[in-house]
A = this chain, B = another copy of it.
């Protein structure tokens, strides 16, 4: 089976650089896949993307060595299994609030006996290879998002669930959960503290910790602290920021 480059990176003690896809287009996904990211996550939760578009995006990413991933809309076995069957090598699940939630994530992303994933890895076989069934459980990665008050309170239990690979922090939701402004990098002190706490606990349990960032500078600081999976910005944000800069320069240059 094609190895998961994320696990290879983690095996060398390094951090993976993840891009984010909110535009439902195979062409923009392929363009992003040529920019050097270690992995790209198709966002089926807050991105404007559904399953059929996601499949086209996985195919587009698969023209390169970048690892195809998905964030699913919710803790729902159906869609978690569908994105894996379509060739995603990692799944990020939002708002994991309890050990029970984490168990359902594991159950949905690992084959028996570890989990209860239903068998039928249709595009997974094309992307991963004919021995996908034997190696999928050790290859595919499941991230539990810790971004609610309940998720924080039950963190130890969540991290103790067998088969859970990693946690991922959504700073905006975590901020709202703690009564703070929803933002990525410059979070309020209670959020900063919670992030440190999650990272420390993940390390304790030998789990990978990942986090969403607005800028590469913030992401580099996160890596220094010990995060091993950092997302920076998104396709739509990078495009919009570039466009705003261009238009701003044009307006400034023609305003006299």
Q: List 24 A-B contacts (CB under 8 A).
A: A14-B254, A19-B246, A24-B52, A26-B55, A27-B123, A30-B126, A31-B240, A35-B240, A35-B244, A35-B247, A37-B247, A73-B81, A74-B78, A94-B118, A119-B170, A119-B173, A119-B175, A119-B182, A216-B250, A217-B249, A219-B250, A238-B243, A239-B242, A242-B242
Stretch of A41-49, A158-166, A190-198, A201-209 contacting B (4+ beta carbons < 8 Å): A41-49
Q: In A8-62, which residues have CB < 8 Å from any B CB?
A: 14-15, 17, 19, 22-28, 30-32, 34-37, 45-53, 55-56, 59-60, 62
Copies per complex of this chain: 6
Residues of A within 8 A of B (CB): 14-15, 17, 19, 22-28, 30-32, 34-37, 45-53, 55-56, 59-60, 62-63, 72-74, 76-79, 81-82, 85-86, 94-95, 111-113, 116, 118-123, 126-127, 133, 147-148, 170, 172-173, 175-177, 179, 182, 216-217, 219-220, 223, 230, 232-233, 235-236, 238-251, 253-254
Residue of B nearest to A28 (CB): B23
Smallest beta-carbon distance A75→chain B, Å: 8
The answer to whether B63 touches A73 (Cβ under 8 A) is no
The answer to whether A122 touches B76 (Cβ under 8 A) is no
For A19, A24, A79, A175, which residue has the most chain B Cβ atoms within 10 angstroms?
A24
Q: What separation, in Å, do the CA atoms of A247 and B25 have in the docked complex? A: 21
The answer to whether A242 touches B244 (Cβ under 8 A) is no
